[in-house]
Amino acid sequence: MAHAAPRNRGMIEQGRTINVFDTRTHRMARIVLPVLAALVYGFWAAANRRYGGPITGWNLLFGFLTALVFAVVLITLLTVTPKLRRELHALAWASFAGIAAGFLLSQSNTSVLRSTALGVGVMAGTFLIMFYRYYTKEDAEGHRVE
């Protein structure tokens, strides 16, 4: 039978949780997870671009370059955005999500207007969700309130 992890009264009242992983694991995950996400994104973009055709060297190069750019931008956002105010923080993540979604769709031989519409739609939805999250979890100066 499963039991809850023990917590003292102070942790319960402050709403804190037990940190299962050590700082080294968290530090490593901040690099490994964006790289894995970038590889998936690069594979997806390359698959969209070849449109069911054969895998070529140029297609592999495109996928790896796309993954490299995605990883660099994602790691940069993970390090820079926590220092921003909540409006800019939400706008940065929304821009990243909208551009990434629009770029993926543009690789599948669709019109520029459709890619732009999808990108703007994803950006608007992501902005609303992220702004709500930061608005409810931070004070006006950007300090976390939990």
In contact, 73 and 96? CB cutoff 8 Å: yes
The pLDDT score that the predictor gives to residue 53 is 83
**Confidence band, pLDDT 50/70/90 cuts, at residue 58:** very high
**Is 143 exposed, middle or buried, given 0-12, 13-18 or 19+ CB atoms closer than 10 A?**
exposed
Is residue 1 predicted with pLDDT exceeding 60?
no
Mean pLDDT taken over the chain? 86
Is residue 33 predicted with pLDDT exceeding 70?
yes
Cβ neighbors of 125 (< 8 A, separation 6 or more) are none
Q: Tell me the pLDDT tens digit for each residue of 108-130.
A: 888 999 999 999 999 999 999 99
More confident residue, 32 or 51: 32
